[in-house]
Amino acid sequence: MTTTTPKLITARRGLNYRPQSPRNIANRMLTILASLFALICVAPLLLVLGYVVIKGFENLSVTLFSLLPEPPPSDGGGIRNAIFGTFVVTLIAMGIAVPVGVGGGIYLAEYSRSGAFSKFIRFGTNVLSGVPSIIAGVFIYSTVVYTKVLFGSNFSAMAGGMALSILMVPTVIKTTDEGLKLVPDDLRRASMGVGASRFVTVTRVTLPAALTPIATGIVLAVARAAGETAPLLFTALFTYFEWDGIFSPIASMSVLIYNFSLMPSNPHNELAWAASFVLVVLILGLNLLSRWLARLAAR
């Protein structure tokens, strides 16, 4: 038969959970308070998404994706050209922003020596990432649209893509820079040790190794640009007709939502809700794709 010493009994009692302890009461109160704040942070997102889904889903139909939008006093039509225009403008923005952003990130990660110029680029990238999107639209309007420098055209899909590319470049530069920094230096030393030049090392070793985080940044940049309205109001404008080339005005879902939501016609308001639902699903899908690529990179 074993005996338990008084000190051991006291230690065991001290390990017991006491709900009425001031420390445990304070812990429960702070946990409830933190959960309440977290709910307050998430509630606006859930309310907005829920309302868009309810209002937009009930207006979905086959004709929504097959018809062109119609001006008042018609019944609204569809958003076929707006969907196509959103993809066109986004692809133009990608064609401009991806080479510039990836090239800038490669320079910062592989070629710069933390000098004044590289610090200036990083500072400018941080500033540009916080610039309101309407500033990019006004800039392209004053330099491209107003001057008609693009083969005499004013409002055009090309101008809209240029405005969106300004918003995409900072994200692509940052993710490329950080993605290349995650590549182990041993790979660079091994490549150069067998006689490869720095250019070959970057193109054949470091870039393929950092491809997943770079792709994640590109997808995030596209998700941000696809939902912008203000830059396209000043550059791509809007049209009710089919696309007539990159140097002519083009429809987009964000501008369609803005225009139709202000109309007194109820069919056009319903069309704006349906387009909002489609745009939210598109952006949500791009964000989920970026998270999947980030998890793939973490492996």
Mapping DSSP onto H, E and C, the string for 142-158 reads HHHHCCCCECCECCCHH
pLDDT at position 4: 52
- Contact present, 92 and 161 (Cβ < 8 Å): yes
* Secondary structure of residue 77 in the 3-state scheme: strand
Q: Largest Cα–Cα distance in the chain? A: 101
Would the pLDDT of 58 be above 90?
A: no
pLDDT at 13 over 70: no
Average pLDDT, the chain: 85
Could you give the CA distance from residue 161 to residue 164 in angstroms, rounded to a whole number? 5
237: helix, coil or strand? coil
Q: What is the pLDDT of residue 1?
A: 46
3-class secondary-structure state, position 2: coil
Give the start-to-end residue ranges of the domains of the chain. Answer: 63-298
Amino acid (1-letter code) at residue 206: T
The tokens 């696309």 sit on which residue? 243
Kindly report, residue by residue over 82-91, the tens digit of the pLDDT: 999 999 999 9
pLDDT digits (tens, 9 = 90+) for 198-218: 888 888 888 888 888 888 888
> 284 or 95: which carries more pLDDT confidence?
95
User: Would the pLDDT of 184 be above 50?
Assistant: yes
Q: 261-269 contacts: CB < 8 A, separation 24 or more?
A: 263/72, 264/72, 265/72, 265/73, 265/76, 267/74, 267/75, 267/76, 268/72, 268/76
Contact 194, 99 (CB under 8 A): no
**Higher-scoring residue by pLDDT: 127, 8:** 127
Domain at 63-298: CATH code: 1.10.3720.10
Q: Which residue has the higher pLDDT, 9 or 111?
A: 111
